[in-house]
Amino acid sequence: MRFGVVVFPGTWSDCDFHYVISEVLHQPVKYVWHRERDLADLDCVVLPGGFSYGDYLRAGAVAGRSPVVEALRDFIARGGYVLGSCNGFQILCEAGLLPGALMRNECLQYRCQSTHLVVDNVETVFSRGLRPGRVLTMPISHGEGKYHADAEALRTLKAGNQIVFRYAEADGRVTRAANPNGSLENIAGIVNPEGTVLGLMPHPERAAETAMGSADGLLLFQSLLGSLVEDGSFLKR
């Protein structure tokens, strides 16, 4: 599978995703500059963490209107996969590619800590192969990660089974104490209705090797790669 890791001015998880994809997963990967519009040779585009354009207006607001994100619409329509983590999730919401918004953490401080995520939906390309209710360990690192959606959007998310990950205790219970940023219903990650665009605040690339404390993040990629084997139609482009 051919991966592209997008680089905006101010992106900093780009090298980490690149390292995990090339050195841990041994998949072809290249950097994609924010001004590029040609994504034809890619199967999966990664929007990494960071402070794109300094996040000075609103996290992800400027990047959400950048040439590469405009090109993503067509890429997604043609069946391409998109994984947005941290700032990437914020950008996907700002671009309207995922519903809802990410607001300032309830504690009003930046939070970098390990979190547990319970898997709600195992029918996306990023979570297939996982057992429903399985708990993954992945760190977060953000100041604006409080997921918010209005009542109707939330109903739609639930009806479409679009909530993939929720912050939970180590045993999988979804509690207020396990919610690190005040996200609505402990939502940590969601997909589009087609299940091909995943946005999540946690950092799977920081949990991709046992040396880093957890390799659970790798499961998202393995799920994605595994789906390719089962369903070769993905490569039809």
Partner 1 sequence: MTGAPPKVTLDLARDSGLTAEEYERITSRLGREPTYAELGLFAALWSEHCAYKHSRVYLSRLPTEGARVLQGPGENAGAIDIGDGWAVVFKIESHNHPSFIEPFQGAATGVGGILRDVFTMGARPIALLDSLRFGDLDDPKTRRLVEGVVSGISWYGNCFGCPTVGGEVAFAPEYAGNPLVNVMCVGLVRADQIVLARAEGVGNPVFYVGNKTGRDGIHGATMASATFDDSAAERRPTVQVGDPFTEKLLLEACLEAMKTGAVVGIQDMGAAGLACCTSEMPARAGTGMDVELSRVPQREVGMTPYEILLSESQERMLLVAARGREDEVRRIFAKWELDAVEIGRVTAGGTLTARLSGEVVAHVPLSLLAEAPKYTKPTAPPGWLTEPLALDPLTLPEPPDYGEALLALCGSPNIASKEWVFRQYDQQVGINTLVLPGSDAAVLRVKGAPRALAVSTDGNGRHVFLDPRRGAAMAVCEAARNVSCSGATPVGVTDCMNFGSPERPEILWQFAQAIDGIAEACRALEIPVVGGNVSFYNETNGQAILPTPVIGVVGILEDAGRRATQWFKGAGHRVALLGPDHTSLGGSEYLWRAHRRLGGRLAPLELELERKVQAAVRAAVSAGLVTAAHDCSEGGLAVALAEGCVTGRELVGLEAALDASGRGDQVLFGEGPSRVMVSVEPARVREFEALMAESAIPWRWIGTTGGDRLVLRLGTKTIVDVALDRIERAWRSGFERHMA
Question: Would you name the residues annotated as active-site residues?
Answer: 86, 203, 205
Classify residue 115 as exposed, middle or buried by CB count within 10 Å of its CB (0-12, 13-18, 19+): buried
Classify residue 62 as exposed, middle or buried by CB count within 10 Å of its CB (0-12, 13-18, 19+): buried
Give the per-residue contact string, 22-41, with partner 1 (x = CB under 8 A; - = no): -x------------------
| Binding-site member from 27, 137, 141, 222 for partner 1 (CB under 8 A) | 141
Instruction: Kindly state whether residue 89 participates in binding partner 1, applying the rule CB under 8 A.
Output: no
**Beta carbon nearer to partner 1, 62 or 97:** 62
Site for partner 1 in 104-123 (CB under 8 A): 109-113
Contacts of 90 (CB under 8 A, 6+ apart): 55, 59, 60, 84, 102, 144
Q: Could you give the residue ranges of the DSSP H alpha helices within the chain?
A: 14-19, 67-77, 87-94, 151-159, 217-230
| Binding-site member from 94, 120, 205, 216 for partner 1 (CB under 8 A) | 205
| Residue 160 vs residues 13, 87, 153, 190: alpha-carbon distances, Å | 30, 24, 10, 11
- How many residues belong to the site for partner 1 (CB under 8 A)? 31
Instruction: Kindly state whether residue 78 participates in binding partner 1, applying the rule CB under 8 A.
Output: no
Stretch that binds partner 1, among 39-47, 75-83, 90-98, 200-208 (CB under 8 A): 200-208
DSSP, res 131: P
**Cβ(72)–Cβ(17) below 8 Å:** no
Stretch that binds partner 1, among 95-103, 127-135, 206-214, 223-231 (CB under 8 A): 206-214
Stretch that binds partner 1, among 45-53, 76-84, 119-127, 129-137 (CB under 8 A): 45-53
Q: Residue 154's CB: how many other CB atoms inside 10 A?
A: 19
Binding site for partner 1 (CB under 8 A): 9-10, 12-13, 15-16, 19-20, 23, 49-51, 53-56, 109-113, 139, 141, 143, 203, 205-206, 208-209, 211-212
